[in-house]
Structure 1
Amino acid sequence: MGSLLKFGLIGLGVCLVLCAVAAVVFMAVFDPNDYKDRISRAVLKETGRALTFDGDIGVTFFPSPGVRLGGLSLSNADGFGAGPMVSVRSARVTVRLLPLLTGKVRFGELELDGPVLNLGRDAQGRANWDDLVGREPGKGGKGDRGRSFDLVDLAGVSVTGGELTWDDRGTDVRFALNGLEVTAGAVGKDGLFPVKLSARFDCGHPDIKTRIEADGTARVDFKPGRLVIEDMELSVDGTRIVGRVTVERSGEWPRITAQVDVGDLDLDRYLPSGHGAAGAGLSDATILPGRVLRRLDFGLDAKVARLKLGGALFSNVAVAASGVDGLVTVDPFFAEAYGGTIRLTGTVDARSGVPVTRTRTVVAHLDVAGLARDVTGKDEYAGVADYDSSLSARGQRVRDILGTLGGDFSFKLSDGVFPGVDLIGLARSTHSARDRQGTVEGETGSTRFGSISGTGTVLDGVVRNRDLEVKAPGLRADGHGAVSLVTRRIDYMVRAKLVPTSEGQGGKSSENLIGVMVPIHVTGTIDRPRYWVSIQEYVKALGGVVVDTVGTVLGGVKSVVRGVGSALDNSSGGDEESGKSGRKKFLGIF
């Protein structure tokens, strides 16, 4: 038995020596660089792409057999620029020796230094990798694309100094991951492995620059093209995101599903200044690109502890959203904000062409003062708001969406302050100027109120309201008119009455109170409203005529006096007796 073991060890030693000698002889007579041109010609014939070796190919045997590349690049598709689609400064991969002796190929760690991947789509939606995938057998293809990937078994992956760029000319979306560093554990079929990633994210449109760090556990199945990242912990500029993400090979774009829990998220740091609806140039911006919507395939279930957007602060945010084949659904978006709640459900349907948007929004008991302070930085507004709307629109650009907006809404503001004008002061100034001609302009100020409520409709971007009701100490008012969201012009009439009461909310309605009506026009724009009274109209009101001068924000103002049946002109109105009667009643209020 001892002799057998002795001869066995001697035989094994001889085999190892022979293997070492064979390796030395192989390295002496075989130079893989002699085959670079042959490899490049084969790739060119197979794909039409130029494979360029920028450095030498080296073969190693100890401590494990492997291949080392000095530099490599693959040219881009036609129409995507002269630079390469893929390149790498150096790469190294080894093969584990023991599995190789049993006829199995098991790789060691894959090391990539300075890999660059330039991806993109042209204006017609053609990607620069389309000619490399989906090729059929017998047509210069690869046969079963998933079969060769079944054998992938890596002891680990290391990427240093990487870069990934994305340029979509159809949607004008461009971004890059620079300084990409990736480390991963053993990658095998259906096996979990740890992965870490860090990179700088730079986006030019919109302008976003941030730092990304990720840590988690992943599972990859190359045959159906499925990547699952579990126990993910992502840090973006200090914002902590945890959850689970799945990426699957699907149609034109991969299907992405995510369940995430976010801490503090400040979206304002990633948005340009003036990004509101009135932002300069935003009216022509495309915010719902139909081509992109029809490619999306995703599912999202997200929770955000605290969210900042447009200066406004939200908490306990919950979002459930999905998108497939051009139909994007949000059901619901829910958030707590300023002592109240916001709930929104909606869809964007781009399956048949131009996107059609439908939303239902419910706001309950929102503190307007806190919201206005955070958004505008001013303490002008006050009150508690309730709002309900069902709206729909059609289009991709902001202007088109606003121009086709339609639906209905209701609102109520309680116990607050309306800035911009002192309605009571304007009414008094009008009465003092009743013997003059022309107009009385509203002075800058504010109006305290007990409640402001109303309902309305929206048609082709024009908001119309006919039942405004204002209850304030010493004042009752009703109003009606229209506002164009496209031109942002206002054409509104507030008919105010000064009343001998200090009651606000819960008091009598305006039609049941004795007082002289002051017809206050609201014109100008949403950004710069103008409050004014025509003295001639006021004098007619003193005579008991009901003045209603609202025309249309689209066709101009046409003044009509009910009870008279003719347009108001610049002549003085009302007879002397009516004026006296009106003055007596009005002064009686004071």
Structure 2
Amino acid sequence: MKLILRSVMALLIAVVLLVGVLLVLPGEKLAKLAADQIEAQTGRTVTFGGRVGYTLWPTLGVKADRVALSNASWAGPEPMLTAERLTIGIAAADLIAGKVRVTELSAVLPQLNLSTREDGTGNWVLERPTAADVQTTASSPGAFDSLPVSIEALNLTGATLRYAPFGQAPVEMRQVDVALAWPDPTGTVDMDVTLRPAGAPVRVVGEIGTFAAFLAGEVSSIGASITAKDTELRFDGRAELTGAASGRLTGRSTDLGATLAAFGVAPGAELPKVGEWLVGADATYTSDGRLALRDLSLSADENRITGGADITLAGKPTITAQLSAGALDLAPLLPGDKGDLPASAAAGEGDDPVSDGWSRDVIDMGWLAGFDANIALDVQAVDTGSLRLGESKLDFSLDNSRAVLKLLPAALFGGQVQGQVVANNRNGLSVGGKLSFQGVRIEQMLGQTAGYDRLNGEALGELEYLGVGNSLAQIMASLSGKGWLEVGKGFFTGFDLEQLLRSGSGNGGSTVFDQLTGSYTIENGNLLNKDLLLTLKGFRAVGEGRVGLGAQDIDYLFTPSLQRGDGASELSIPVAITGRWSDPKIRPDLKRALQPEIDAVEEQAKERLREKLSEELDTELAPEQDLNEAIRDRIEQEAKEQLLRLLGGN
């Protein structure tokens, strides 16, 4: 908007000077004299590349084709203003009365090249030549210098506006249409501006009070509505020509993606599907690109966030905000799960068995590079469809493509979770976290994060993890970390340990336990555990094995034992759990269960054999002595004795 206003001001100044001279030169053949007069007044050269025509009454009309006004000497060789056709209408009666009232000022395909020098002076400031220069010109200053000038209507069609502030990159707008109505020189101007930053029209309709003072750099009242696609923004407040403004900002959009595209902004990720966006805030914008929003309210359908924010727009955007919200239902706003949870993954599906069940879609986190942020959010509840939070304090920071979400704490999985999770996209995507939790429902935690809900109970513990990859499948297959877990009273579903120990068949049903404890490490997407301890009435179970977080499989061995009153084990039947998470196979390992009895029978048989041999060999055999060697030694001894008798010895 600042560029538009500077452009309009420059055009007004240039055209008024043209009018003042052209009206006193009755004919196309006097166009050169008009150009000389303008150069004498402004130091700028005017050229007419086509016909110059006039009308006299009731409107003095001027039409000139291919008009060009030269630039300031310091601003370069390109003309400051060119137009394929310039049309000017002036009320003849007012002119006779000594007043220049421009009733029409229009330009077709005008091009304005605006710039500033180091001291801030713009090239639209037309400086009168020195006295020495004036004496050498063809004409002296005209008689219209003291006439009051007002312009009632200005129209630009298909304008190209280029603005190059000193030391900054130029800004250019094409296909700009401008219509200004300014009936009172000391009053309000009504404007209707159409911009096309990316081809689609963006329309600005509004009014600026005391427009003359505004052009002179003073603060003026302003009201404007911006319409683009299915979006409308409204601003009412005060502003100045530098771009600084303050007032109330409100807006509504039913297609935010199309609106951003109309402004030439391409979001780094797919925008959520929202039926209606609403925004309201007390806004203050400074000319150095800082935006402060107070009494902020942002709504997406039924979700509403309030608070305040400070945004730096110059360079890389930076957002600092303190926000609060009630219950947020984000599930309809987020993309579908796309198979992220392994509810129906089948073994052997696809070319990469490691990634079966997890989504292999590329995760686009390029948007992390778009801005930096530090946002604090107090929320009553959040439902993402896969995760559900209760009353929580969250702190989100983003610095150079590294995002950190701190839970301070968060009500999650029916308990409290504290710590942080990190997504780092500086050199490829990696995710990690360090969390502690207490009072969480283990079936919710495993069900919502891993799709496994057979273990139920209230847990506390710690988790530290790190994963790398551009898809969820790659991240899960690369996970590393460690942690520990304690669960109070709870139960397993899918098998019954008591029935297994009493009848040898425990598939189906559930196992109720008093306590479960264990620690684990994570390597290459596999959770490894060696110290699981499960206690339940009359039973005790230990476990060890592997849980494939990447492959979504399990290879684990439970060894439950039936306990006697003195605490000694009476019967143990190991249980092997293998296969996919979605359909694990649970089988008692009877060979391992009977191995102690087999070992005992073998030992008893060896003992009886040892006793019999001791009697037959008439010698004491030690338990550790090899029976074969004892027999061999006895045979050798008997052979020696018989040989001595044969030879007549003793």
Question: TM above 0.5, one fold?
Answer: yes
- SS of 2:359 mapped into structure 1: helix
Offset of residue 338 of structure 1: 6.2
* 2:561–2:571 contact (8 Å) kept in structure 1: yes
Counterpart in 2 of 1:408?
Answer: 482
* 2:281–2:296 contact (8 Å) kept in structure 1: yes
Offset of residue 415 of structure 1: 0.7
Percent of residue pairs identical? 19
* Counterpart pick for 2:401 among 304, 316, 326: 326
* Counterpart pick for 2:435 among 336, 348, 361: 361
Q: For 1:227-376, what aligned pairs fall within 5 Å after superposition? A: 227-251=291-315, 253-274=316-337, 276-278=340-342, 283-287=359-363, 289=365, 291-310=366-385, 313-337=388-412, 340-351=415-426, 353-368=427-442
- 2:330 is the alignment partner of 1:216: no
Offset of residue 386 of structure 1: 0.9
Q: For 1:78-477, what aligned pairs fall within 5 Å after superposition? A: 84=199, 87-89=201-203, 91=205, 93-94=207-208, 96-97=210-211, 99=213, 104-105=216-217, 153=219, 155-159=221-225, 161-163=227-229, 178-188=230-240, 192-200=246-254, 205=270, 207-222=272-287, 224-251=288-315, 253-274=316-337, 276-278=340-342, 283-287=359-363, 289=365, 291-310=366-385, 313-337=388-412, 340-351=415-426, 353-368=427-442, 382-430=456-504, 442-477=506-541
Q: TM-score, normalised by structure 2?
A: 0.59
Distance 1:465 1:378 in 2: 17
Pick closer, same or farther for the CA change 1:180–1:219 going to 2, 3 Å: same
Offset of residue 61 of structure 1: 1.7
Q: For 1:39-50, what aligned pairs fall within 5 Å after superposition? A: 43=161
Distance 1:394 1:379 in 2: 26
- Report the AA paired with residue 514 of structure 2: G
Offset of residue 527 of structure 1: 2.5
CA deviations on 1:285-304 (whole Å, 9 max, x unpaired) are 34473x44344411111111
Counterpart in 1 of 2:552?
Answer: 488
Offset of residue 305 of structure 1: 1.7
Distance 1:21 1:317 in 2: 74
Counterpart in 2 of 1:523?
Answer: 578
Offset of residue 363 of structure 1: 0.8
- Report the AA paired with residue 542 of structure 2: D
Distance 1:21 1:422 in 2: 107
Q: TM-score, normalised by structure 1?
A: 0.64
- SS of 2:507 mapped into structure 1: coil
* 2:189–2:211 contact (8 Å) kept in structure 1: no
Distance 1:513 1:191 in 2: 82
* 1:33–1:57 contact (8 Å) kept in structure 2: no
Aligned residues: 437
CA deviations on 1:4-62 (whole Å, 9 max, x unpaired) are xxxxxxxxxxxxx95896777522xx431346478857548998978336x78454424
Offset of residue 408 of structure 1: 0.8
Two-structure CA RMSD over aligned residues (Å): 4.0
- The answer for unaligned runs of 5 or more in structure 2 is 1-92, 113-155, 165-169, 258-268, 346-356, 606-650
* 1:33–1:56 contact (8 Å) kept in structure 2: no
Distance 1:379 1:92 in 2: 59
Pick closer, same or farther for the CA change 1:93–1:362 going to 2, 3 Å: same
Offset of residue 105 of structure 1: 4.7
Pick closer, same or farther for the CA change 1:310–1:333 going to 2, 3 Å: farther
- Which one is further off, 191-200 or 36-45? 36-45
Offset of residue 344 of structure 1: 2.1
Distance 2:335 2:110 in 1: 49
Distance 1:428 1:575 in 2: 25
CA deviations on 1:259-283 (whole Å, 9 max, x unpaired) are 1011111222323444644378753
- Which one is further off, 527-536 or 189-198? 189-198
CA deviations on 1:549-573 (whole Å, 9 max, x unpaired) are xxxxxxxxxxxxxxxxxxxxxxxxx
Distance 1:185 1:19 in 2: 37
Higher Cα radius of gyration: 2
Distance 2:521 2:102 in 1: 84
Distance 2:451 2:464 in 1: 30
